[in-house]
Amino acid sequence: MRSKAAFAAATWFGSGYAPVAPGTAGSLAALLIAIGLRHWLGISALWIGALGILLIAPGIWAAGVVAKEIGRTDPQIVVIDEVVGQWITIAGAGTLNWKSWLGAFALFRVLDMWKPWPARQLEALHGGTGIVADDVMAGIYGALVLFAAGYLNFY
């Protein structure tokens, strides 16, 4: 039971099994859920970011369990870290519209792949912590850039 729950969470309910670019698939799944939460429940960008923060601890646990069972330090199927980072990035949006959604998605994907300091160094942390921590940092950077872009009326 524990293993099944960890795999469901870590793969974000299967999106991590995408045959091409599973990290992008996980980010897209997170974005679509955030858009749905905004549309149907009226949840703000800050609350979406708060959900990302709340997902850090279970994400670390799930990523760690899956990595250990598969025997890899950062398995591609683990995308819960992308969900966390994507939702944290969204928190930087002053306004939620198609431009800010697209900007949040693009910013997070670029920052997740680039991994500016100290994100790349955080990958070296042990187990699930290393898997999730670099995406948390990329999400924080993304939120800051998205906030600045909104302040400068880019969206």
What is the reported pLDDT for 13? Answer: 95
What is the reported pLDDT for 123? Answer: 85
Q: What is the pLDDT of residues 63-110, one digit of tens each?
A: 999 999 998 988 999 999 999 999 999 999 999 999 999 999 999 999
Q: Name the burial class of residue 98, with classes exposed (0-12), middle (13-18) and buried (19+) by CB atoms within 10 angstroms of its CB.
A: exposed
Q: How confident is the model at residue 111 (pLDDT cuts 50, 70, 90)?
A: very high
Report whether pLDDT(2) > 80: no
Please state the rounded mean pLDDT for residues 132-137: 96
Report whether pLDDT(1) > 80: no
Closest to 65 measured CA to CA, from 134, 4, 137 = 4
Nearest-angstrom CA–CA distance, 84 and 151: 24
Please state the rounded mean pLDDT for residues 13-18: 95
